[in-house]
Amino acid sequence: MTTDSPGPDADFATLEGPVLVVGGAGYIGSHTVRALEARGVPVVVFDDFSTGHPEVVKAPLVRATLGDREALKEAFARWAPRAVMHFAARCYVGESVTDPSTYYRENVINAWNLLEAMRDAGCQELVFSSSCATYGIPVALPLTEDNPQVPINPYGRTKLHMEHMMEDYSNAYGLRYAALRYFNAAGAAPEGDLGEDHTPETHLIPLVLGVALGHRPAIDIFGNDYPTPDGTCVRDYIHIVDLADAHLRALARLQAGRPALACNLGTGQGYSVREIIETARRITGHPIPERIAPRRPGDPPELVSGGTRAFEVLGWQPRHSELKDILADAWRFHQAHPRGYSR
């Protein structure tokens, strides 16, 4: 894979649809659908609602799983998408360790089904949700794209398999792709109507806000003896609106004929678990009791994005990712949907 020189700012005017958004009913997918629609780009959502939410889908919908190759074929025949954004995957590190079979089926085999359907239909543009989990233990921090990709769990391995498949399809069949390696997606639409709703919820920010809402008595801090300034894990939290914006830029770049791209999406700023809880106390006005719990297996002490590739090649920079803004937007969503979208 090669990267080329800067695209100083994306020309959104050149964005062309329809875009098939696979997993468009999920957390990151639904915010990206909104960003595409706000730019007037036609969207078709492909989702089986295994983890996504019917409530968030306003666009034309294909309700099917990627395991259903006939449904995929029909979707490409009916909607003739110009491009695909692929968000549909399992995304829990711990679950991937105990149930790798599901991860290889959904994140690799189903992704291959999608690549084949695209190839059969002559659809050549793909923006893919990859992950900082493809790097494994960072060799150096902050983590740049030059860090070796040596994932330490099945989740990270499945994401890396897809990166490799895309690279090979690009070389052999002309697929043009962007692999976006997210750090910690967080926050919610500022309008308060779209946000994070997973079952079960394992992510720190919604769990912390769940304590503020009285759903659980305290937040467990998974380990306070890490080699970090306050002993708790440090992560790079990126606002979901910034993340969605990067997808549009990546697509615009592909549609402008630029080469394949892999880049990190993070802010370069790390926050500890304690800093998240402390900021959530300020935003919510709730004491948010905490308990020290054992380390969670597979958690690296610190993951913070480094480098400037996303800025250089996408003209992207985070605009909404101040921690207080992430938490304020997430809090607005959780107050409006205290039990999630449909509960």
3-class state of residue 61 by DSSP: strand
Name the residue with the smallest CB distance to ligand UFG.
233
250 contacts: CB under 8 Å, gap ≥ 6 = 127, 178, 180, 261, 314
Query: CB of 19 within 8 A of CB of 178?
Result: no
Site for ligand UFG in 43-62 (CB under 6 A): none
Count Cβ atoms below 10 Å from residue 59 Cβ, excluding itself. 19
Q: Is 182 annotated in the active site? A: no
Choosing from 155, 169, 177, 226, the catalytic residue is: 155
The one among 296, 319, 324, 339 contacting ligand UFG by CB under 6 A: 296
Q: How far apart are CA 321 and CA 318, in angstroms?
A: 6
19 lines the binding site for ligand UFG (CB under 6 A): no
Q: How far apart are CA 317 and CA 300, in angstroms?
A: 25
First CA to last CA distance, the chain: 45
The one among 34, 90, 157, 235 contacting ligand UFG by CB under 6 A: 235
By beta-carbon proximity to ligand UFG, the closer residue of 94 and 307 is 94
Which span (102-110, 162-170, 216-224, 244-252) binds ligand UFG, by CB under 6 A?
A: 216-224
By beta-carbon proximity to ligand UFG, the closer residue of 62 and 219 is 219
Which span (4-12, 22-30, 218-226, 328-336) binds ligand UFG, by CB under 6 A?
A: 218-226
Q: How far lies 221's CA from each of 188, 203, 213, in Å?
A: 23, 12, 18
Site for ligand UFG in 74-133 (CB under 6 A): 91, 93, 131-133
**Which residues in this chain contact ligand UFG in the complex, by CB under 6 A?**
91, 93, 131-133, 155, 184, 202-204, 207, 219-222, 233, 235, 273, 296, 299, 303
